[in-house]
A and B are shown apart, each in its own frame.
Chain A
């Protein structure tokens, strides 16, 4: 157990819909990163939030957006869902003091039909 929780665990949506995924970071961690992991591939970096500000973004379109709250929990929002958005969405929290070690949550499995 890493102390990072995500909700929901599974989700089914239809193309064109919007989805919000949630992540609670490990106690003491002020940085959250989101990843998309398609079946059989490694996680792909979506973006990172540090103290409620976006701090870097991967190669994902603007319909992927996020928020970080004062308690450092975070949301990932995806608009206009496409079939290719079907994946495992992972969040990872880390402390920005010292060496980077990310602690991953169990992920949310999203299926877009």
Chain B
């Protein structure tokens, strides 16, 4: 599984856009990039997943450059409730490997009023 590197922490203010970048230099051809959000004493919650270019859903966007060696999670107009730990995972989603994810230590995002 590809190793990922994320900033340990980030601070932002309400209403700002937040971009969290994850480096994954050893990403393999079959690997997808998945981001999870985790609040204290809760399980991680799926945010978004992508393979290349750009993916957008109702809560976030995921930008993946052509070489796929990094990815950026973009959270538009954050609020205090977005304060959480964000994990970037890179892994093969084919049947024999799905679910065997390696989480790093994540990025602790603190949103201030």
Which residues of A come within 8 Å of B, CB atoms?
A: 2, 4, 31, 33, 35, 40-45, 48, 55-56, 58, 88, 90, 92, 94, 96, 99-107, 109
19 A-B pairs, CB-CB below 8 angstroms?
A35-B103, A40-B105, A41-B105, A45-B102, A56-B97, A92-B44, A94-B98, A99-B49, A99-B93, A100-B32, A100-B98, A100-B99, A101-B46, A102-B44, A102-B101, A103-B46, A104-B44, A104-B45, A109-B41
Q: If A42-B105, A99-B32, A100-B93 touch, does A31 touch B43 (CB 8 Å cutoff)?
A: no
Complex interface: chain A residues within 8 A of B91 (CB)? 100
Complex interface: chain B residues within 8 A of A48 (CB)? 99-100
- List the count of A-B residue pairs having beta carbons below 8 Å apart: 69
Complex formed: what's the CA distance from A45 to B89 in Å? Answer: 12
Q: Does B98 lie within 8 Å of A43, measured CB to CB? A: no
Q: Smallest CB–CB gap between A54 and chain B, Å? A: 12
Contact of B42 among A56, A92, A103, A106 (CB under 8 A): A106
Complex interface: chain B residues within 8 A of A45 (CB)? 100-102
Q: Does A31 lie within 8 Å of B98, measured CB to CB? A: yes
Complex interface: chain B residues within 8 A of A33 (CB)? 99-101
Flag whether B29 is at the interface (Cβ < 8 A).
no
Flag whether B95 is at the interface (Cβ < 8 A).
yes
- B30-60: CB near A (< 8 Å → 1, else 0) gives 0010100000011111100100000000000
Complex interface: chain B residues within 8 A of A58 (CB)? 100
- B71-84: CB near A (< 8 Å → 1, else 0) gives 00000000000000
Complex formed: what's the CA distance from A24 to B15 in Å? Answer: 38
Complex interface: chain B residues within 8 A of A35 (CB)? 103
